[in-house]
Every structure is written in structure tokens, then in C-alpha cells.
Amino acid sequence: MAKMTAAEAAIHVLKKEGIDVAFGLPGAAINPFYAAMRKVGGVDHILARHVEGASHMAEGYTRTKAGNIGVCIGTSGPAGTDMITGLYSASADSIPILCITGQAPRAKLHKEDFQAVDIQTIAGPVTKWAITVMEPAQVPRAFQKAFQLMRSSRPGPVLIDLPIDVQMSEIEFDSDTYESLPAYKPSASRAQIEKALTMLNESEKPLLVAGGGIINADAAEQLVEFAELTGVPVIPTLMGWGTIPDDHPLMAGMVGLQTSHRYGNATMLASDFVMGIGNRWANRHTGNVETYTKDRKFVHVDIEPTQIGRIFGPDYGIVSDAKLALELFLEVAREMKADGKLKDRSDWVGDCQERKRTMLRKTHFDNVPVKPQRVYEEMNKVFGKNARYISTIGLSQIAGAQFLHVYKPRHWINCGQAGPLGWTIPAALGVCRADPEAEVVALSGDYDFQFMVEELAVGAQFNLPYIHVLVNNSYLGLIRQAQRGFDMDYCVQLSFKNINYTDEEAELAEYGVDHVSVAEGLGCKALRVIKPEDIAPAFEKARELMREHRVPVVVEIILERITNISMGTDLDGVNEFEELAENLTDAPSSIASLT
């Protein structure tokens, strides 16, 4: 046993739990914790420019690699409330992050002290656990419990609030003998797996819906093996994109109202059985539930018991961690195959492949200003199969999901449910810190980019290089498109006459913000593209600049002001606004070569 401050004990626990970096901002009420980090050592720190940004950096860090838990730190009062958006985002997508806040002294909590706020109560609905630790000796055990909760069952965030006097109090703690608490993961029984496989085997046109729970469980390999063993096509959700490579013969496309493929929706509507694994049946995936469920049976496998039946009642439900379920699915399926009991699915797979080959949206446009579809075509060509894409919300994200290709788990890192504007830049920085060797490519519209643009300075200061593709139409594009239903175009234009552009740049001045100057003023590099044939060379140049300077590089592409992106209110009613791809009869089978 050794005497140390409660804050020092907390740092020892963080290190024992595998934490070696934190994102945050120091302040008066959290300074003892920072002093402990400095004294104990072993935990690097990335200084954010906004505390919400720190929470999204922690998200990006967690989402990049299995086992990661991002940590964000802030002082009392507004620092905690600023991080609520990050906690909501993490909670909604089942992402474990640990938020640590400072707090006023215990004796002042009920006296409306400066920056004293009941962050425990505020954070409660968007965390697995939120606690203001009132006894110094409980601090290391609160952190121990936090890690167990974040890793158990459905993952999610935790907030620990530490009054300043609690942080500074001395306690007895033996860090050498500290041990993590075991995480709990529910597991399917063999009888449940056998029943589900029997139902699948009785169907004629089955599908597997692969959700984000498969990525959280690090079970993409098992999913692909199970699909190949049974011959059942896979529909990844937006959060599950990358669980099966886009060019795999059994990848049948994404389904939904917005972030979907035409062939994916058509295949879902043609199916008669769906097994969802680690998914939520989110509304942007299902659309109208009656259309989605009509004339097909459902099995739902999820780690969270209350998730089963929340959107609709499946024909059969199984509470299980995705990896544990898939391992048992594989065991039973192998036995069925050895006994000759698995159906031949080649005809159904052939139908799915034909839809995937022919039901494509056009991407090759030579228009100036640039059509957004062309941007994603060029991104596919230049960045290939190894890029880690980061995006959050808006027409840019929706079009990106419709046109980009993803081949590996955790290579589409997306804020799925919450969709907060400004998420992309800090999340990309968290990804860079988690995987310094990766080619990280962020995608934003101009409004998302402007929300937390100050975080680019973090990338410059801490040498976190990535490429940020900024598609600029000087509009709130998704909201403008939604306003068509109200016959208006109101308060959604970001354009204004920017007086700082030169006479030669007068046309660009109408687009408002000079993002190139802003990015360069924050210590980054930036390029602007106006013609479609210049997109690919700009991406290659961005790569060179990123490697040379080790800072974020922004590639701003000036788009046509108005482009309506395919979407609708029901799976069988998605509006297609642009002409579709033609002459695909003799096209190769790889989806990557079709765009």
C-alpha cells in the first residue's frame, strides 16, 4: 500500500486499464487531476480547442480499434455540459468513452458555487453510469467499475465527476496488485442457435443484416465465414458497413431511406427471411416498418435484451454478444453442412449479384461546378481499399454512403444515430491518434466543417495528419432538400459576398467562407478544386503535403449549389433525382470497377 492523492490513484487505474492517451482541456477544478497525470506519467494528452471536440476525439479513438476506450477530460460546469453531445453520440452508437470532469468542492455543491452544476444528473440519460464521487477512497473503485460497465453487455460511455477536494485528498492504494474486473457478455445457447438456423434453412431468400454490434464485438471475420458457409447474402447497416467487403459476392448492398444502395433496397424487398445480428432496426435503415417486415420472417440477435422487440416483434429473438453467437452459428452450420442439410443458395445469390451489377446510380459527370457524385468516384479511385473514412451527417455523408466503397471493419467511422454537426474533424483526429499509420480521409459539407473548424489547430499542433474532403455548395444541403416538402428555401443558404476574395476570385466570393484561408490560418495545408478533372490530382497533392508536413490537409471542392441526393420515406419509394448508370450489361462483377 502507498499513500497518494485520489487523483494519482485514478491515473494508476487508467494505466492498468490500458489507457495511454487522453483528450481534453485543463481548468481550475480539474487541475489536481492534471497534476497527477504529470507526476505519475504514462498517459499522453492531446489539448483540444473545445471540450465537445475532446469528447468526439475520444469517440474517434475508440471506434478505430477493438479494445480501445477513449478518455476525455474537462473542468467543472460548462466543460461537462459541453461534453454531453459526445456522451449522447457515444451512447447512441454503443461506443465506450470515459468522460472525467472536475467539480466544485463538496461543501459548495449546494451553494450555487462558480461552475458548480449537477453534471451527474444531466449526464445520466446519455451514459451507462454517471457519478459524482464524494469519498476520496472510492475514486479508484469508481474507475474500476467504470471500465467494467463500459465493456460489459451493450458498450457505452461513463462520466466520473470529481470534486476538487476529493481529487486532492490522500488515500491508501496499492496499484501493483490492481486487477480489472471481468466484463459480462451474454451468450446464446446451442438450442437457440439451432432454432434460428432451422428457420433460416427453411426460407428461400434469406438475408443477414450485419449491424454495428458485429464491429464492436470484433466479429467481422466470423460473419463473413458464416455467410460463405451458408451462402446467405449480407446487408450491412450503416454502422456495420465494412463487416463484409463491398466487392465480396455475398455483399448485397445497404438498405434504407438515405444511406442505401438501389440494389440493396431491391434485394431486401425480394427477401423472405432476415436475420439481424447486432443491429437496432434504426428508422433510416427500415423506413416504414410495415413495408420492411411485410411477407418476411425475422430473427434478431442482440446483446441488449430490451433492444429485441423495441421497433417490431421478431419471429424469434436471441440475447447474445455478436461474436459468441456467430461462433456458435458456425459450429452448428458446419455440422449441418457435413450432414448435407444446408440449402443451395446459388440462384438467390445470383439474383442479388445481378441487381448489384445493374442497379447503380451514375457518378461520372463532367459538369462545372462539380456534381458531388463525381467527387466520390474520384475518392474511390485514389484512396482505394485501405482508407479509413470519417463522416457524420448531411448530404455529403448520405452521398458518401451511397457512392463510396468500404472493404474492412472500422474503415467507415460514422456517427450513426446522433449525427452532430462538427463531429467529423475531432473524430478524425481521434482516429489519427489511434492509428498513426492509416490513411485517414474525412468527408464534410461546409456546414459540418465550420462547426468545429478550430480543432484543425489540434492536428497541426500534435502532428495528426489526415485528408479532409470538403464538398462546398454553401448550403445546408440536407435541410434545403427537406424543405422542398414545405415549398420553401428558408435560412439554409450559407452564401454571402466575401469581400476578401480578389477580383479574379469574384465568383468564388459568392460561396462565402474562404475555407482555404481558414485552414491555413489554423496551421494546416489546403487546396481548392473547381473542375472535376482536377479532383484526383488534388488528392494526390494532398497526400504529398500530408506526408511532408504531418498536418491535416483540406481539399475543398466547389460544388454546384443544388443537387438533390436520392432518398425517400419508404424502401419502395426512394426518389432518384439523377440519371442512372447505363450500359452495364458487360460490366465486370466487382462493384469497385463499376463506379
Q: What domains appear along the chain, each with residue ranges and CATH number?
A: 2-173 (3.40.50.970), 190-358 (3.40.50.1220), 372-565 (3.40.50.970)
Residue with more model confidence, 218 or 475: 218
Q: What is the three-state SS of 36-81?
A: HHHHHCCCEEEECCCHHHHHHHHHHHHHHCCCCCEEEEECCCHHHH
| β-strand partners of 163 | 103
Residue 592 pLDDT exceeds 90: no
Q: How confident is residue 595, by pLDDT bands cut at 50, 70 and 90?
A: very low
Q: Quick one: which of 454, 435, 440 has its CA closest to 390?
A: 440
SS3 of residue 298 by DSSP: strand
Can you say whether residue 543 is alpha, beta or left, with left for phi > 0 and alpha for psi between -120 and 50 degrees?
Answer: alpha
Residue 480 pLDDT exceeds 90: no
In this prediction, residue 591 carries a pLDDT of 35
pTM of the entire structure?
A: 0.93
**How many alpha carbons fall within 13 Å on the CB side of residue 304?**
19
List pLDDT tens digits, range 367-393: 999 999 999 999 999 998 999 999 988
List pLDDT tens digits, range 409-445: 999 999 988 889 999 999 999 999 999 999 999 999 9
The Cα-based distances of 33 to 12, 43, 475 in angstroms read 12, 12, 43
Percentage of residues of the chain with pLDDT beyond 70:
97
Q: How confident is residue 477, by pLDDT bands cut at 50, 70 and 90?
A: low
Q: Quick one: which of 516, 514, 512, 508 has its CA closest to 492?
A: 512
Residue 29 pLDDT exceeds 70: yes
Q: What is the mean pLDDT of residues 71-95?
A: 96
Q: Quick one: which of 514, 435, 518 has its CA closest to 472?
A: 514
In this prediction, residue 587 carries a pLDDT of 33
List pLDDT tens digits, range 527-568: 999 999 999 999 999 999 999 999 999 999 999 888 888 888
